Structure 1
Amino acid sequence: MALENSVFPSLPESLSLPVEEKGEGDDVEVAADATGVFNLSEELGQIVTTETPSTPPLLAKVNRSFQAKLAERNAQANEPRKKVVQEKERGRFGWARARRKRQRYVEKNGRCNVSHGNMRETYRYLTDIFTTLVDLNWRSSLFVFVMAYAVTWLFFGAIWYLIAYLRGDLDHLGDETWTPCVHNVNSFISAFLFSIETETTIGYGHRVITDKCPVGTMLLLLQAILGSMVNAFMVGCMFVKISQPNKRAETLVFSKHAVISLRDDKLCLMFRVGDLRSSHIVGANMRAKLIKSKQTQEGEFIPLDQTDISVGFETGDDRLFLVSPLVISHEIDSNSPFWDMSQSQLQKEDFEIVVILEGMVEATGMTCQARSSYLADEVMWGHRFSPMMLLAEGFFDIDYGAFHHTFEVTTPSCSARDISLAAARLDAHLYWSISSKLDEEPTLTNEASRQPDSVSANSKAGEPTFIVGEMTDIQEQTGQGELNGSVATVQSESEA
């Protein structure tokens, strides 16, 4: 007897044992000497052939052992090649190609991977110049901050130098009888320094404006007003940028993986969130979105369609008291987008789960938002998060070393719909198969035996009749008691 190497490439040597020859219609059995008996007639089917050598059993055992070793060697040689083929998909012309990794919509650090292009109404950025400056990166913000002051100082310094030049103050530098507009302004550098002293209200006393220059007085007032506005604007921008609440989100962490396992006999999608700071997030609220492209019934293709994932909005569980790390759970019910998804189907899906945590920073009172995402290959089926809270002396100790750690648990690989149907069938089976205490009384049995005519009359009329404690053929055909019609028993009203 020989086994096909292409179907079973790595068979253990315990199967290479003497084979007893039987008739054509009999099953073929493979016996083991000291390890047990293996019956491969039902599992292998047509793969087992009937070519049995006519050598003694000892010689057959040696030959089968050699064939098994040769088959195992060939299987080991072909094993890496098969793995490469399984990891790659077939292209248009049948060529193997690597599976393209999904592009993230939201990065793990919360940054949205979206680039806006071909925007023609760019003037809208100038109408909201404050927000535009706040949204700039730090390099651009520092450049704008320095240039705002440097340009105003240079601009008003040039005007002060122009006034001195037009009035002729530069031509009467040594003349004590001449009253200049500004004392000791004899060059552009001195005019620039006077502009800095005026706008920053330093006032060293060496350069001072006189009362013989009304133009200089008006310019002094204008520079003082504009300088105050520039100070307020730029200092406000820098303060808001430094105290931005998105920096507070850096200490809000999400688990690297999401898990799917049973919780209270219900299949749930779970992930963990925690706060590294001692100051709390006031009014923390959790939301989750499923990002997946779909096509409507009318044929419209919607790229990156957003579907809401309930994390306790109906029950209020989405409002968190984030003092210690929490495991956020999404119950996979009939309203969940994962209702029909099994473990095997999860490995083939292409989606992204975006989780959003919002709340108010306790120290500043500003609203903070932290984001993260999970791809399909980052959702672990049959896992559960490890506990990380310990009871110390007088307080609770949180071990953040186990924040991302998970362990495997027993979880069915079928979808939540199949689990629900199996539970419903089990309940229906118990309802119709378990006899009640009334059925065990002899009076009810005698009463049922006394009324054969009524039972036969109902059956002849086409109405299904069910006897309590028994199961008819109609019940077995309809899935153990799942019927749409009414159920009639032979109990009388007085006995009921």
Structure 2
Amino acid sequence: MFSSFNIHTLFLYLVLKFRYRQPRFSSRRQYRRVVFKHGECNVVQGKVAKRRRKYLQDIFTTLVDAQWRWTLLVFAMNFMLSWLGFAVVWWLIALNHGDLDLSVRDNNSTWEPCVREVYSFTSCFLFSVETQHTIGYGSKHTTEECPQAIFIMCLQSIVGVMIQAFMVGVVFAKLSRPKKRTQTLLFSRNAVICQRDGILCLMFRVGDMRKSHIIEAHVRAQLIKKKMTIEGELLPFHQQELKVGGDGEEDRIFFIWPTTIVHKITPESPLYMLSAADFLQEKFEIVVVLEGVIESTGMTTQARSSYLPNEILWGHRFETLVSFKKETGEHEVDYSLFNNTYVVDTPLCSAHDLKKLISLRAHTGKIDDSFLEKKKKINLFIQLFNVPFNYVT
């Protein structure tokens, strides 16, 4: 029975069987991803000249992108430093005018201070807070005695408004970032390869949990892998665009329910020459991007994910998850089935070989010996080792 097998074919499909029994989630230690499954880019910007200065030059974006604890720390420090800074200024004004010398004030009944009810640095600090936030308790106030005190009062009021406006803008920008909208945009855990209308297709699923939809939604996909040019230059992250579309032909989708995104493996596709066995040896990453306008805010958002070769299930198809409920007259989406797939009959050969096989059948009605021998070996292997694929008959 095993005499018809060559050692290479047996070993290759033993690996195939073992590979598709591995967990569907990959480990970061095993694979160096460019984009993680949750959409974060695995890129660190290092050794940038004058990095801190450049970040400070765009302080607004820096604070918006920073974590909340750092933004709130800067928020608190801005107010504390402004209060203390102006408290020192008020203390110097009072000290220069002699307002802090109680003996002079007590012996002179006509003495007029720059700021009433200011006797120490603590009272200067309290007056600084009241002035900046226009609290106005009524006991402490400036007089006409010192023009410099009137100028500082006006200046601190302007600075206080500017600080509040800046920090409110930062907090509002962080809360309304379209990045948070991506938390409710879903990508399927795995991509699949199966036939649709006789053509091998790479498919993955996208979904939106919210009732407010994404307007003008469209999907892009890029294959990233190493490439050696004819001049010998190594391109470690060469990008190739994959033409994708929804259940129709265009990349723009009517995104009111989960949609299956399809890439037809045609001669223009970089996956055209790859068979199921080749997926075990190839090292690449397919980065998928979903973009659109948030209906409720009008802002543009972008969600990302990626698929490694071991996350692409050959010979599977997604289960249907949209059903019509007669009781309510509504279409119901069951998100518990979002990642579910089932096995379908799919040829293990590449799209190129499949096209050649179909062409031979159409023109001659026969298949040459090499294709028949390959088919027998694969079918026998499937029966012996229960590989979860069936070769097309």
TM (normalized to structure 1)?
0.66
Aligned-residue offset at 1:362 = 1.1
Could you tell me how far apart the structure 2 residues matched to 1:42 and 1:152 are?
A: 86
1:223-282: CA deviations, max 9, x gaps? 111111111111101100011111010000100000000011100000000001000111
Displacement, 1:156?
Answer: 0.6
**Do residues 326 (structure 1) and 259 (structure 2) align?**
yes
Q: After superposition, what is the alpha-carbon deviation per residue over 1:270-306, rounded to whole angstroms, capped at 9, x for unaligned?
A: 0000001000111111111111111111100011211
Following superposition, the deviation at residue 416 of structure 1 comes to 0.3
Distance in 1 separating the partners of 2:156 and 2:149: 10
| Aligned residue in 2 for 1:409 | 344
Counterpart-to-counterpart distance in 1, 2:165 and 2:288: 37
CA drift at 1:177: 2.4
Structure 1 residues 10-409: aligned runs within 5 Å: 43=4, 101-122=30-51, 123-172=53-102, 173-174=105-106, 176-312=109-245, 317-393=250-326, 394-409=329-344
CA deviation after TM superposition for structure 1 residue 428, in Å: 2.3
Deviation at 1:41, TM superposition (A): 10
Q: Distance in 1 between matches of 2:266 and 2:3?
A: 39
Code of the residue aligned with 1:234 in structure 2: it is M
Output one character per residue of 1:370-401: Cα deviation in whole Å (capped at 9) or x when no partner.
11111110000000001101111310011000
The number of residues matched between the two structures is 342
Instruction: Give the CA deviation at 1:162.
Output: 1.2
Alpha-carbon separation, structure 1, partners of 2:309 and 2:269: 16
CA distance in 1, matches of 2:266, 2:150: 77
Deviation at 1:426, TM superposition (A): 2.4
Which region of structure 1 is more displaced relative to structure 2, 418-427 or 404-413? 418-427
Distance change >3 Å, CA 262–CA 159, structure 1 → 2: same
**Which residue of 2 is the match for residue 16 of structure 1?**
none
Cα deviation, 1:121-163, whole Å, max 9, x if unaligned, reads 3232222221111111111111111111111111111111111
SS of 1:191's partner is helix
What SS does the corresponding residue of 2:277 show, helix, strand or coil?
helix
For the residue of structure 2 that corresponds to 1:396, the secondary structure is strand
Q: Per chain length, whose mean CA-contact separation is higher, i.e. which structure has more relative contact order (CA < 8 Å, sep 6+)?
A: 2
Structure 2 spans left out of the alignment, 5+ residues = 7-13, 20-28, 369-393
Distance 1:357 1:413 in 2: 30
Instruction: In structure 1, give the amino acid aligned to 2:188.
Output: S
What SS is found at the alignment partner of 2:281? coil
Change (3 A) 1:250 1:159: same
Cα distance in 1 between the residues matched to 2:41 and 2:139: 55
Give 2:331's aligned amino acid. Answer: F
What code does the residue aligned with 1:109 have?
H
The question of whether the paired residues in 2 share the 8 Å contact of 1:102 and 1:350 is answered with no
* Aligned mates of 2:192, 2:179 — CA distance in 1: 27
| Cα-to-partner distance string for 1:339-389 (whole Å, 9 max, x where unaligned) | 000000111111111111111111111111111111110000000001101
Higher-Rg member (1/2): 1
Change (3 A) 1:44 1:232: closer
| Structure 1 residue matching 2:217: 3-state secondary structure | strand
List, as ranges, runs of 4+ consecutive aligned residues in structure 1 with deviation greater than 3 Å. Answer: 40-45, 172-176
Matched residues in 2 for 1:146 and 1:137: separation? 15
Query: Any stretches of 5+ residues in structure 1 without a counterpart?
Result: 1-39, 46-81, 88-99, 434-475, 477-496
Tell me how far apart the structure 2 counterparts of residues 170 and 141 of structure 1 sit (CA, whole Å): 38
SS at match of 1:201: coil
Match of 2:10 in 1: none
Q: Percent identity?
A: 47
**What is the distance in 2 between the residues matched to 1:115 and 1:321?**
35
Output the CA distance in 2 between the equivalents of 1:43 and 1:210: 106
Q: Is the 8 A contact 1:274 1:326 kept in 2?
A: yes
Aligned CA distance change for structure 1 residues 197 and 261 (closer, same or farther; 3 Å)? same
AA partner of residue 351 (structure 1)? F
Alpha-carbon separation, structure 2, partners of 1:141 and 1:204:
30
Q: Which residue is equivalent to 2:388?
A: none
For residues 365 and 329 of structure 1, the distance between their equivalents in structure 2, rounded to whole angstroms, comes to 27
State the alpha-carbon separation in 1 of the partners of residues 278 and 2 from structure 2: 32
- Is 2:276–2:350's contact at 8 Å kept on the other side of the alignment? yes
